[in-house]
Amino acid sequence: MSDVIAAQNTFGSVRTRAFTGAAGTGKSQRAQMVADCLDAEYIIDDGLVIRRTEIVCGRSAKAERNRIRAIRRAMFEYEEHLASVRRFFEKAAPCSVMVIATSDDMARRIIHKLGFPPPDRIVRIEDVATPEEIARARKERVLKGQHVIPVSHVLVRKNFAGKLVGRLKVLWRSKSPYDGEKTIVRPPFSFYGEVHIEPEAIEQLASHIASKVPQVGSAPVSRVSSTDEDSLSIDIEMKIKPGPKNIPQIAETVRRSAAKSVGYFSGLNVYNVNVSVTGVEF
């Protein structure tokens, strides 16, 4: 908690806005236009910090090899990535930032993660694009799997592991030769529709991780529940073996290991792990 308070104090002079809309509706294509209207100096899009179509910090989620890692990258779940962006804005403040996200809640979570103040304005894709334009953008995403990054193709080539498909150019007066340019990419991961993780998979993973902790015997998971699609609560019932550590120490190790591992491998937020001891194994 103290780290969050310190970060919020550090970035109190950072003004935040958000630009939101469902995936594939054309947000990145309109990002610079909306940022100009909101007087935002920097854009945060899928893990990248962008200024006038130039990458100044971060790493693109679209460079990840699978969907789960891409989500974690976009949400700044990797500590080194998060720390580098925070260090950048410590030097850049005071400034204004526009966060691009697929929902208002996601935008607020990213802003909170970075330690910025809450957004003072949220613009949605429906505010700047017609239903026909949104439907056309969705069709391109589904049929071709193509994404737009509001960055020059020269700079994207240095920071992207997938395929560069093309580029768009919007002309206006600027000192930068790449200003207004957007790059069309195809990420190295393929993703259509939704990702479903069965509760049984979470149970097996949590049980396996718990059973690998020293002095733990069998450790079946009795329940996996969620308050929303991204947050989990896990109940583990375990039997312990005699050894140097006492029951509270073993239970705490199991709790931490299960929360960290399940969160890492699934990309979900594990907000609670309940551990109960049901017996002793010899």
* Residue 149 bridge partners (DSSP): 183
271/149: higher pLDDT: 271
Domains and CATH numbers, the chain: 2-186 (no CATH), 199-277 (3.30.300.20)
What span, in angstroms and rounded, lies between the C-alpha atoms of 219 and 213? 10
Average pLDDT, the chain: 79
Q: What is the DSSP letter of 247?
A: H
Query: Which CA distances in Å does 176 have to 98, 135, 151, 169, 197?
Result: 20, 32, 12, 13, 45
CB 78 within 8 A of CB 182: no
* Nearest CA among 255, 274, 263 for reference residue 230: 263
Q: List, for residues 169-200, the tens digit of each pLDDT value.
A: 443 344 444 444 555 444 544 444 445 677 88
How much is the pLDDT for 184?
46
What span, in angstroms and rounded, lies between the C-alpha atoms of 67 and 268? 12
Q: How far is CA 20 from the centre of its chain?
A: 14
HSE, CB side, 13 Å, CA atoms: give it for residue 63. Answer: 15
Phi/psi region, residue 197 (left: phi>0; alpha: psi -120 to 50; beta: rest), is beta
Q: Give DSSP secondary structure letters for 35-100.
A: HHHTT-SEEEETTEEEETTEEEEE--GGGSSSHHHHHHHHTT-SHHHHHHHHHHHHHH-SEEEEEE
Average pLDDT over residues 193-218: 83
- The C-alpha angle with vertex 10 and arms to 4 and 11, in degrees rounded to 5, equals 90
| Number of CB atoms found within 10 A of residue 58's CB | 21
Is the pLDDT reported for residue 157 higher than 80?
no
Is the pLDDT reported for residue 256 higher than 50?
yes
HSE, CB side, 13 Å, CA atoms: give it for residue 106. Answer: 24
In this structure, of 27-31, 97-101, 145-149, the range with the lowest mean pLDDT score is: 145-149
What span, in angstroms and rounded, lies between the C-alpha atoms of 14 and 68? 29
Query: Which CA distances in Å does 25 have to 46, 139, 142?
Result: 15, 9, 11
Average pLDDT over residues 110-138: 92
CB 155 within 8 A of CB 178: yes
- The C-alpha angle with vertex 270 and arms to 75 and 24, in degrees rounded to 5, equals 35
How much is the pLDDT for 10?
56
Residue 225 host element (H or E):
strand 221-228
Place 276 in a pLDDT band, splitting at 50, 70 and 90: very high
